[in-house]
Structure 1
Amino acid sequence: MKIAVIGSGGREHALAWKLSQSRHTEKLYAVPGNPGMADIAECVSGIDIEDNDAIVKFAKDKEIDLVVIGPEVPLTNGVVDALSAEGIKAFGPTGKAAELEGSKVYAKLVMKRYGIPTARYEVFGDAGRARVYVRQMRQPFAIKADGLAAGKGVILTKDADEAVAAIDTIMTDKAFGEAGSRVVIEEFMQGEEASVLAFTDGKTIVPMVPSQDHKAVYDGDKGPNTGGMGTYAPAPVITPDIMDRVKKEILEPMVEAMNKEGRPYKGCLYAGLMITDKGPKVVEFNARFGDPETQVVLPLLKSDLVEVMLACIDGTLDKTPIEWSDGAAVCVVMASGGYPRSYEKGKEITGLDAAKADGDIVFHAGTKNVDGKIVTNGGRVLGVVGQAENIKAAVDKAYEGVKKISFDKEYHRTDIAHRALERL
């Protein structure tokens, strides 16, 4: 099969890496891809991945059999609809189904309508009314931009002053553009966060190995939120009993709800969860693979990813066995100094060949090839993954890989998987 992966980040590199291992993959394209993906796929630049017509034309010209969409914007733009209309198989939800991520307001309304556990909330399209509300309530809140904000549109606040400042940042200063035209103001949920991604064909749901992201930029979960500074899987906070509740109380009801809404959901359904003393509650839904969760979940997948994706598209997931490794995986993100605020690009990266020679898994996220040299080209630059028989060994392996790689002003957290290690 000829397969194309849409996107250029660490998640897309992980997807391409896993797809390249399939017995069905004859030719792999990455649009636009990155220098790391170039080792396993033909990278194709010059195509706007947010232009559905351009993606369809490329797929038709190259006679692509399967298109795998990584980022959220093409999905919410309806690229799956456009490809499907031309008879091209595409992994991911339709544009209407992807609104589950595209609009936090819509997601909350669906959860409320169908009784899916989540935080209490209010929606505001007027900054003045939002300010009045948080000053009256005087409690911790999560202030969320309604639309897509590259995983950074949530501000956690401890009191009314911080909540007002967050509202101003999102709605008045437009820190996230038009995504902040409306805000969802949620009660602050106490507990431990975790992510459960699931394959679904719109009927059958198969949860993946649970993982935990580290959003805050600094050790000890301090500092501003990022797109994710590291992940590990499995996350022990998701016990077998909790996973059973997640499937029965959250994943299955949501897929059923989307069918009732006339928006059948196929692809990867990502549930960001808070494990509270009353059980799992939804923080957010995403309509695609997580980043950097994908970088630790897919290394643990023993089954053929192409076969699983085709089953999701064709509605045969119930007939497709999916197997997982018993071990663990840990991803440490190597970032540009200053991220998630201003940072410099163009720093030469050394040690990649040494890491590769030692068999380390290194996913490129923000890199660029300049005259044969790999340089930094983003805030999150690399994801170094350690895979081993348990979390402790995987942590050690990941950080051993990190030590081999360097670039000017490189920064990474030193405590990835600390919650899992504290449970040992």
Structure 2
Amino acid sequence: MQTHNPQENLHKVLHKVLIVGNGGREYALGLHLKQDSRIQELFFTPGNAGTALLGTNLTLPHNQDIVEFCQKEGISWVIIGGESALVGGLSDELRARGISTFGPSRAAAELEGSKAFMKDFVASCGIPTARYIQTSDPQKAKDFARSLSLPVVIKASGLCAGKGVIIAQSYEEAESTIDNMLSGKEFGQAGECIVVEEFLSGYELSVFGICDGESFTLLPPCQDHKQLYNGDKGPNTGGMGAYTPSPLCDEMLLEKIASRIFAPTLAGMEKRGTPFSGVLFAGIMVVDGEPYLLEFNVRFGDPECEVLLPLLQTPLLDICHAVESKQIAALPITFRQGYCVGVVLASHNYPFGSSTPHPITIAPFDSTLGHICYAGVSPNKVDSSKKVDSSKGGEKVDFSSPLLASGGRVALAIGVAPTLAKAKHNAYIIANCIAFEGKVLRTDIADKALKA
């Protein structure tokens, strides 16, 4: 009996790919795909001024606009980068029209869209997580907060771009946070329901599983740095840097994460009729060697995506196809040896508000050290014909770029090397080559592992 190879047809045709999103994650996805000779054209919606150097940016504000463009242009694959499009049901609308899509359904995306749903779901599956209450009743929330030891964690249930978590250091701060969230002052509708939970003391890991609804494959563990300042001080952000693989996660711990968190999640989602397909991102707190689930995201993390993809050897297109055909368990997903460190360069008002756009100056650097991922950048007389050349070898590359630093997280300096210490060193060499007024960065990315 002849066995059908699901990858066979994939290698025979050229593909047009649309990436949905506008951040550093989407730039990293595009940069990875540009190295695949099967990619005929690359589109982004809305993209940023950096992704315009990789492909074509489009203004497609509504799901229906995206669907119609894909049908008209003959798009082979849509890769959805951000959570809001997934929670908004874009993947369902695309699949209903026969368009291949990488990303979970609207129902499965509730694992990130509603922290209240997520906590109730994982509790029902027996997945280890912090003690919690989810409620819209301020008094119930305050009473539960008072029953916990300090500090107390308070989360807006809805989407908040990674900023909806407050760690209250006193009961008075907890109560004022509860009032601000539930009144809509802090996070609007996203805070109409909140989760109050115990604070777990340990160290965090970001672990990603490529899932096809039935099976999953875990990627190398990462560690994000969410607080704005060195030493994990200051407010939470979307992430100020990351590195992979983390030596703080050995094979035994990774197996615990697989068996205690990912396996029951996929089984539970399939049982409720909402199988999970795509990237499942588990935020893990390791307490005395045991993993506890902090949260789920339903897409690649940002900035974790930017440090995983430079090491990924298996083409992303093959991964997308294996997920769609429910054969992820049969696809070897391989990574090159070494480490990758990403340092976020943010604007001076991040994460509190927008900043005045300023020109970016980039000094030449040796491309064997790594590269830049563009995020919060806008055009400043961009020459759209200038494409990124990722095959420069070891020569000095002048990335002097007609871009403006206009967003919160402006760019990431990505360093790659055989050792973690060298990868960090390379990342900061590149970070120091990038200049714009008000640049903010942490200088301790990967130090937890290096000092361990």
Bin the TM-score by the shorter chain.
over 0.9
- Secondary structure of 2:19's partner? strand
In structure 2, the partner of 1:141 is: 152
1:404 is aligned to 433
1:41-73 CA-partner distances (Å, limit 9, x unpaired)? 1111x211xx21111011111110100000101
Match of 1:28 among 37, 42, 49: 42
Give the letter for the 1:403 counterpart.
N
Report whether the alignment pairs 1:265 with 2:276. yes
State the Cα deviation string for residues 226-253 of structure 1 (Å, max 9, x = none): 0000000011221110001111111111
Q: Distance in 1 between matches of 2:416 and 2:147?
A: 49
- 1:314-329 aligned within 5 A: 314-329=325-340
The alignment status of 1:281 with 2:295, answered yes or no, reads: no
Q: What displacement does 1:401 show?
A: 0.1
Show the counterpart of 1:380. Answer: 409
Query: Which of residues 250, 254, 265 in structure 2 aligns to 1:254?
Result: 265
The answer on 1:10 being equivalent to 2:20 is: no
Query: Displacement, 1:359?
Result: 6.3
Q: Hey, what does 2:380 align to over in structure 1?
A: 370
The residue type equivalent to 1:235 in the other structure is S
| Alignment check: 8 A CA contact 1:138 1:159 kept | no
Within the candidate set 158, 171, 188, 2:182 is matched to 171
**CA 1:157–1:316: 2 relative to 1, 3 Å:** same
Q: Which residue of 1 aligns with 2:10?
A: none
Q: Which moved more, 1:328-337 or 1:340-349?
A: 340-349
Gaps (5+ residues) in structure 1?
none
Matched position secondary structure for 1:291: coil
Contact 1:345 1:375 in 2 (8 A): no
In the aligned structure 1, how far is the partner of 2:179 from the partner of 2:286? 30
Farther off after superposition, 340-349 or 134-143: 134-143
Farther off after superposition, 12-21 or 357-366: 357-366
Q: Does the residue aligned with 1:156 lie in a helix, a strand or coil?
A: strand
Deviations 1:243-274 (A, max 9, x none): 01111111111011100011011000000000
1:294 and 2:308 equivalent?
no
Alignment of 1:83-122 (within 5 A): 83-122=94-133
**Does 1:222 find its partner at 2:233?**
yes
How big is the shift at 1:133?
Answer: 3.0
> Conserved in 2, the CA contact under 8 Å of 1:138 and 1:160?
no
Contact preservation (8 Å) 1:127, 1:172: no
Hey, what does 2:86 align to over in structure 1?
Answer: 75
Alignment of 1:120-131 (within 5 A): 120-131=131-142
Matched ranges for 1:43-54 at <5 A: 43-44=57-58, 46-48=59-61, 51-54=62-65
Instruction: State the shift of 1:137 in Å.
Output: 4.0
Overall identity of the aligned pairs, in % = 40
Alpha-carbon offset, residue 203 of structure 1? 1.5
What is the CA distance between 1:132 and its match in structure 2? 3.3
1:201 and 2:212 correspond = yes
Residue aligning to 2:423 = 394
**Which amino acid in the other structure matches residue 380 of structure 1?**
R
**SS of the residue 1:361 aligns to:** strand
- Report the Cα offset of residue 139 of structure 1: 3.2
Give the distance between the partners of 1:138 and 1:220, measured in 2 at CA. Answer: 23
Contact 2:204 2:284 in 1 (8 A): yes
* CA RMSD between the two structures: 1.4
C-alpha distance in structure 2 between counterparts of 1:318 and 1:138, whole Å? 42
For structure 2, list consecutive stretches of 5 or more residues without a partner in the other structure: 1-14, 383-401
Partners of 2:307 and 2:414 within 8 A in 1: yes
Task: Decide whether the 8 Å contact of 2:148 with 2:198 is kept in 1.
Answer: no
Residue 278 (structure 1) shift? 5.5
1:306-360, Cα deviation, whole Å (9 max, x unpaired): 00111111111122111111200000000001211134231000016x2486764
Q: How much does 1:172 deviate? A: 2.3
Counterpart secondary structure, 2:435: coil
**Structure 2 CA distance for partners of 1:112 and 1:357, relative to 1, 3 Å:** closer
Report the Cα offset of residue 135 of structure 1. 3.1
Describe the superposition over 1:76-112 as per-residue Cα deviations: whole angstroms up to 9, x where unpaired.
1111110000000000000000001000111111111
Whether the aligned pair in 1 keeps the contact of 2:208 and 2:219 (CA below 8 Å) is yes
Contact residue 355 and residue 405 of structure 1 kept, 8 A: no
Query: CA separation of 1:358/1:296 partners in 2, compared to 1, >3 Å: closer, same or farther?
Result: closer
- Please point out which of 58, 63, 78 is paired with 2:74: 63
Contact 2:280 2:298 survives alignment (8 Å)? yes
Whether 1:19 aligns to 2:19 is: no
Q: How many residues align?
A: 419
Q: With structure 1 as the length reference, what TM-score do the two structures score?
A: 0.96
Give the distance between the partners of 2:49 and 2:370, measured in 1 at CA. Answer: 16
Q: CA deviation at 1:136?
A: 4.6
Displacement, 1:130?
1.7
Q: Which amino acid aligns with 1:350?
A: T
For 2:49 and 2:327, the matched residues in 1 are separated by: 35
Distance 2:225 2:367 in 1: 28
> Is the CA contact 1:237–1:275 (under 8 Å) kept in the aligned structure 2?
no
SS in structure 1 at match of 2:231: helix
Aligned twin of 1:340: 351
